[in-house]
Amino acid sequence: MERFRWIGHADLDAFYASVEQRDEPRYRDRPVVVGALPGHRGVVAAANYAARAFGVRSAMPIAEASRLCPHAVYLRPDMARYAEASREVFRILETISPLVEPVSIDEAYLDLSGLEKLFGPPLEIGRTIKRRILEQTGLTVSVGIGPNRLIAKLGSEHRKPDGLTVIHPGEVAAFLAPMPVANLRGLGRQTAKIFARLGVATVGQLRDMPLEDLERQLGRRAAAGFKRQAMGIASAELSVERNRKSLSRETTFEVDTDDPGFLHGVVGRLAGSVARRARSEALAGTVVTLKIRFRGFETHTRQQRLTVATSDERVISKAAWQLFQHGGLPRRPVRLIGVGLSHWQRSQPIQGELFAHAEAAAPDQRLLRTIDQANDRFGSGALQLGMTQTRLDPKRR
């Protein structure tokens, strides 16, 4: 009998909003929007399906969302709580398959090949995933299962929320044919306009179009990529190592500010959040990134490479503030500020340029672990290292 790979894609439904509804019964039958609050600046981070019915979408300005759905419950994100729920879900997925590739906080690929003897056919494996996550976390997940990553991902999107779709290799062409071309990966606005001009609305129409015609419109590389997708051809390989490219935190201010004391405090707070997440994932980074946004959404980024990989907020904060002071940035009031860490080295002790000797590093490692344990127990930011709490509104410091 011919053997092939089975790849699963698990995607939690409206994750942030679902965690809020799970933890607060009053929200369960109402539209829920997580992000900025009405009357404040910022965007929607997540919206449940009841809110989406009114046109609310992720990344939408909160002012627009509140006009579309003024009666929704609007909540600020609680990232510590969402991260814990995510860890629970990934622990469950690892009881199904030893090969799990995290994509983000709320989705992952799984290699399900050869698991039929343990769980039954792919449909039953999908049911097991959904049942275990619901029973153990109270959250729903949409699952797609197919012969490669693309088909699994499209399968999980097919019947959201709380869906389950299994696409066998012989069913791929029929599954893709009626699908809008907008569902394909990497299709931006300009490509969408080209397809519209060509009268290509579905994946089936794209598949039937001669490759030479596509190449004249899109170029050889893009044409070949979309043609492969239209035929259902994609990788079935998973990277079981963490593939996170970077960690970052940012915040938008209620009022643009150029107060150096306030901005320095916010940089420290963001650096602490990034450092704690890095330590929780056993990551240490060598590149610190500062992101600054001014009025009119003018955005600048600056980076500094460290000599030693770190997950220490003091090192990250110091580097980010040096970028702010000496990175050639415009001296204007700041609308948004963000701090990031990337370019990982794994299995490194918690260290940095502040630690000149190994004997000095050990007590600092214990101190950082103690701080992380306190924040896990009492909430993110409950205890910070050499930093004071900083309000996000400079008017109310």
List active site positions: 107
Q: Could you write out the DSSP letters of every residue in 153-166?
A: HHHHHHT-SS-EEE
Sort 241 into a burial class: Cβ within 10 Å, 0-12 / 13-18 / 19+.
Answer: exposed
Give CA separation, 280 vs 284, 305, 329, 372, 375, in Å: 10, 22, 32, 8, 12
Please give the structure tokens belonging to residue 152.
């699994």
Report the largest interatomic distance among the alpha carbons of the chain, rounded to a whole angstrom.
70
Strands of the 7-12 sheet, one edge to the other: 100-104, 107-111, 7-12, 141-146, 164-166
Contacts of 243 (CB under 8 A, 6+ apart): 101, 102, 103
Residue closest to 338 by CA, chosen among 285, 395, 263, 389: 263
Residue labelled with tokens 């492969």: 228
